[in-house]
Structure 1
Amino acid sequence: MDSISLKALAKINIGLDVTGIREDGYHEVRMIMQTVNLFDKVTITRTTDGSITMSTNLKFLPVNDDNLCIKAAKLLIEEFGIKEGVHIDLEKHIPVAAGMAGGSTDAAAVLFGVNKIFNLKLSKTALMERGVKIGADVPYCIMRGTALAEGIGEVLSPLPPMIKCSVLIAKPGISVSTKQVYDSLDACFDNVTHPDIDGLIDDIKAEDLQSLCSHMGNVLEEVTIPLHPVIADIKKCMMDNGAVGSMMSGSGPTVFGFFDDNRKAKAAKEALTASGMVKQLYLTTIFNNKI
C-alpha cells in the first residue's frame, strides 16, 4: 500500500466531570465521550527518502514536530525501525482548539494509517496503548463510539450506542485557554456542581434523549462561561430554536445541541447564522462504530 485516505472524526463530551487534582498537576476526570460525523481528511503517502513531512489547508497550523500528526508517525516509524518515510496531508474541518479533540483524532488517524501502509499488524488495543504517549484523547479517538473516560481520560469503558439524533455544532470566533480554564476551576473546585455521569449512562442504556439532556453537564462551563458569555448565548439560541439539550464541549468554546427533529436543527442553524455569534457551524449526526 502506497497511500491511504482516512476520516479523522471529531468528538463531543455529553458529560464532563473533574473529580480531583493529582500531584503531577493532571486532573482526574469522568467523561462521556461521543464521536460525531464531522471529520478532517488525513491522507498518508509512503515516501522513499526516510523523511516525515506534512502539509495542511490551514496556514497557521504547525507542520513540524509540534504537530501531533508528525509525533504519531515518528512514534511508529522509530519504534519499528522503518527506513522509508511518509508525507501527511491534512484537510482540516474540525474547529481548532475547540474542545473537539481535533489534533488528537488526526494523530489517531496517522497511527492507524502508518500501521496499515507498513503492514505493522498492530491491533486497535496496541495502537491505543501507543496513542496515550501522544495525548490523553488519542486512545479514545482510535476506539471511537460512545465511552466512559476516566483517569486523565485514557481509561476507557465502551458504552451502548448513543441515541441517534441531529447534532448542531457551533464555534464562536474566540479562543479559550484550556490551562486558564483548569486553573480557574482549581481555584473554586470545592464549590462547583458536578454532573450526574452515572445518570447519563443509565439514559444512554434506556435510549431516553429527553432524560439524557436533562442530566447533561460540563463542570468546566462554570468557569468558561463567565470568561466568555457568548457560549451561554449560543446555548440559549439553540434551546430557543428546538434543541432538546445544549452544552459546551470540553473546555470550550464549541457548543453543541441535540435535536430530535432535523427540521428544528436546520431552523436553529439559520438562527445562529443570522445572529453573527458563530464563526463555524455544522449540522451533523451521531457516529457509532458498533452498528
Structure 2
Amino acid sequence: MKELRLKALAKINLGLDVLRRREDGYHEVKMVMQTIRLYDRLILKKTDRPGIQVKTNLYYLPANENNLVYQAAKLLQDEFDLKSGMVISLRKFIPVAAGMAGGSSDAAAVLYGMNRMFQLQLSREELMKLGVRIGADVPYCIMRGTALAEGIGEQLSALPPMPECQVVIARPPISVSTKFVYENLNLGEHTVHPDIDRIIKGLEEGDLHQVAAHMGNVLESVTIPHYPVIARIKEEMKAGGALNAMMSGSGPTVFGLFDNKEKAEQTCQALREGTLAKQVYLTDIYNTFRTEHTGKEE
C-alpha cells in the first residue's frame, strides 16, 4: 500500500469537569467526549526517500516536528525502525486551536494509517497507548464514539451512543490559550460543576433532552468573562432552538444540539450572516467507532 486517504473527525465535550490540580501540574478531569462528522482530510504517501514531509492548506500551520502529524509519523518510524519516508498532505476543516481536538485527531489518523500501510498489526489498544505519548486527546481520537475520559483525559471508558441530533458549530474570530484558561481556573466551594453522572444517565436511557439539559463546561467560568462573544453565540443558538449550547474544550468554539433539522439550518445560516463567528458548520453525531481495523476508509 503506497497511498491512503483518511478522515480525521472532530470531537465536542458534552460535559467537561475539572476535579483538581495535580501535584505534577496537570489537571484531573472528568469529561464526556463525542465524535462529530466534521473532519480534516489526510493523504498519506509512502516514499523511498527517508524523512517526513508535511503539506497543509493553511500557511500558518507548522510543517515540522511542531505539527502533531509529524510527531505521529516520527513515533512509528522510530519505534519500528521504518526505512520508508512519508509525505502527509493535510487539508484542515476543523477549526484550529479551538477545543475540538483537530490536531490530535490528525495525529490519530496518521497512527491508524501507517499501522495499515506498514502492516504493523497493532491493535486499537496498542495504538492508543502509543498515542498518549503525543497528547492526552490522541487515544480518544483513535477510539472515537461516545466516551468518558478521566485522569488527564487518557483514561477512557466507552459509553452508550449519543442519540442522533444536529450539531451547529461556531468559532468566533478570537484565539484562546488553553494554558491561560487552566492557569486562571479557580476551583473552590463556589465552583459550579457539571453533572457528568446525569449526562451519562441520559445516554444510558437514550434521552437526548436529558443529555442536553445537564451539559456543562467548568472552563467557561474563565473563558466567558474574558471573551463575552462566547456567551452571545450560546444565546443565539438557544434562541434559534438549540436544546442547549456550550463551549467545547477550552474554547473558543461553541456548539449547539438540535432535535429539529430546520431550526438547526436556520440558526446556522443566521450565524453565517452575522458577525459573531468566522467559521460556522452544520453537522451531526458520529457514533460508529473501530473495534478492529477493517481496511475501509475512515
Paired position in structure 2 for 1:259:
258
TM-superposition CA deviations, 1:125-174 (whole Å, max 9, x none): 10000000000000000000000000000000000110100000000000
- CA contact under 8 A between 1:161 and 1:290: conserved in structure 2? no
Q: Which runs of 5+ in 1 are unaligned?
A: none
Q: CA deviation at 1:188?
A: 4.7
Q: Which runs of 5+ in 2 are unaligned?
A: 291-298
| Pairing 1:83–2:96 present | no
2 CA distance for matches of 1:189 and 1:213?
25
2 CA distance for matches of 1:188 and 1:288?
33
| Pairing 1:66–2:66 present | yes
2 CA distance for matches of 1:257 and 1:283?
10
2 CA distance for matches of 1:28 and 1:17?
9
TM-superposition CA deviations, 1:95-128 (whole Å, max 9, x none): 0000000100000000011111111111111000
| Pairing 1:242–2:245 present | no
- CA contact under 8 A between 2:162 and 2:208: conserved in structure 1? no
2 CA distance for matches of 1:213 and 1:177?
26
| Pairing 1:130–2:124 present | no
- CA contact under 8 A between 1:4 and 1:44: conserved in structure 2? yes
| Pairing 1:31–2:31 present | yes
* Partner-residue secondary structure (3-state), 1:116: helix
Paired position in structure 2 for 1:52:
52
* Partner-residue secondary structure (3-state), 1:202: helix
- CA contact under 8 A between 1:41 and 1:91: conserved in structure 2? yes
Paired position in structure 1 for 2:295:
none
TM-superposition CA deviations, 1:78-97 (whole Å, max 9, x none): 11111111100000000000
1 CA distance for matches of 2:202 and 2:136?
26
2 CA distance for matches of 1:13 and 1:290?
17
| Pairing 1:9–2:9 present | yes
2 CA distance for matches of 1:39 and 1:152?
24
Q: Specify the code of the residue in structure 2 equivalent to 1:266.
A: E
Q: CA deviation at 1:189?
A: 4.0
TM-score, scaled relative to structure 2: 0.96
1 CA distance for matches of 2:179 and 2:22?
15
Q: Specify the code of the residue in structure 1 equivalent to 2:135.
A: G
Q: CA deviation at 1:35?
A: 0.1
Identity over aligned residues, as a percent? 58
2 CA distance for matches of 1:42 and 1:290?
18
1 CA distance for matches of 2:2 and 2:14?
38
Q: Specify the code of the residue in structure 2 equivalent to 1:28.
A: E
1:107-256 to 2 correspondences below 5 Å: 107-185=107-185, 187-256=186-255
TM-score, scaled relative to structure 1: 0.98
Structure 1 runs of 4+ with >2 Å offset: 187-191
* Partner-residue secondary structure (3-state), 2:18: strand
Paired position in structure 1 for 2:40:
40
* Partner-residue secondary structure (3-state), 2:62: coil
